[in-house]
Amino acid sequence: MFAIKQNDLLTPLHVAALNGFYDIVNQLIKRGSKVNTPDSASRTGLHYAAISNNVKIMKLLLDNDAYLEAMDGSLQTPLMVAVSHDCSDAIAFLLEQKAAISGQDIQGRTILHIVADKGTSKSFKLIMQGESFANVNARNILGQRAVHLAAVNGNNRVIIMLTKRGADINCRDNRGFHPIHYAAKYGYSATVKLLLSLDDKVDIYNDAKSELLTPLHLAALNGYYEITEVLIARGAKVNTPDSKSRTALHYAALSNNVKLMNFLMNNVRSRNIVNNSNNILHLAALNNHRDTVKIITDHMPFINVNSRNATGQRPLHLAAKNGNNRVIQYLIKHGADVNTRDNCGWTPLHYTAKYGFASSVQLLLSKEAIVDAFNEGKVRIE
């Protein structure tokens, strides 16, 4: 539903066209209202008639010399606006009037980008009918093709129709994402299965050097168990690291999905699951994920409860930093050193004192934390 903004500057014709009042539009035109006058967003009466899906008003405006290809401030034509609002009657009528389908708006989106992102398969069929149709592999300013946006929305019918028209299923956007990256990220298991059946790559990295993410990383990070299961069944490598040496298990620790953690642990083929800084226990402690901490300490004895990250912090430091007493207790129960020091000589008690966690201070002191422990004269800056 289109909403007029408070600062929009509109003529009576704009308002009547938007609300579908044919007789009023006709009366205003007869009294001299200019059909191509733009509003403050450069939309004309034809844009508004398209939004209201009112073919009768659109025909009236065109019969009175409305510009078929008028562009608003986003460089969208009435046809693009009709597609954005999934107005199938308006789309069909504008196509009959030979409205252009090859243009791009200010974001580089074609008609197909818009329908893949906003519309239905019915709108898509209307756009793709006939011999002349939009370029299925055109890119927007993010390098995304229409098939990327269809995957973002889990729109499987549009994906199938795009591939039948020649869409490249293995295309990358500016971030290096394939369509399957987006399907995995947003939790569309049926779309992941479809893309795999169409020969998208199960273990493909995005090629941004600062990330190197696979679909499995994204599914694990967002806690999507079924997608993780599908990807591994199709051969995704559980131990594949990203640019920070994080594996799917690291990302599952971040998502705090206990079921997913258990599943991945049963599929881990290597114990080399420590990244360049924080291992999975650090991540779980840092993010207050007690259930994940419990799984790791109970079932992964090869993860040292007193392991250090790049700054010398152990999981107990990170739990203390957050004042999470349940995690603190669980780590100490499993052998965490209550007086351990990081690279600046700070103990967990220093962190609880710094961040004002009085109950955590009390807990650590009850576990024999040294009350007057000095750091090493280095002030930690965070």
Place of tokens 């899906």: 53
Domain 1-100 has CATH 1.25.40.20: yes
pTM: 0.75
Phi and psi at residue 308, in whole multiples of 5°? -110, 145
* E strand residue ranges, the chain: none
- DSSP 8-class letter at 75: S
- List all residues 6 or more positions away from 233 whose beta carbon is below 8 Å from its beta carbon: none
Question: Rounded to an integer, what distance in angstroms lies between the CA atom of residue 117 and that of residue 76?
Answer: 15
Residue in 71, 64, 72 with CA at minimum distance from that of residue 33: 64
User: Distance between alpha carbon 227 and the CA centroid of its chain, in Å?
Assistant: 16
What does the alpha-carbon distance between residue 251 and residue 244 come to, in Å, rounded to a whole number?
A: 12
The dihedrals phi and psi of 89, each to the nearest 5 degrees, come to -65, -45
Q: Which residues of 106-143 are buried (b: 16+ CB within 10 A; e: fewer)?
A: eeebbbbbbbbbbbeeebbebbbeeeeebbbbbbbeee
- Residue keyed to tokens 């756009």: 127
Per residue of the chain (382 residues), give pLDDT as tens.
Answer: 666 776 788 999 999 999 999 999 999 999 999 999 999 999 999 999 999 999 999 999 999 999 999 999 999 999 999 999 999 999 999 999 999 888 899 999 999 999 898 877 788 888 877 545 678 899 999 999 999 999 999 999 999 989 988 999 999 999 999 999 999 999 999 999 999 999 867 777 777 666 889 999 999 999 999 999 999 989 888 888 888 778 888 888 888 788 888 888 777 654 445 444 678 888 888 888 888 888 788 877 777 889 898 889 999 999 999 898 989 998 999 899 999 999 989 999 999 999 999 999 999 999 998 988 888 766 555 5
Ranges of each domain in the chain? 1-100
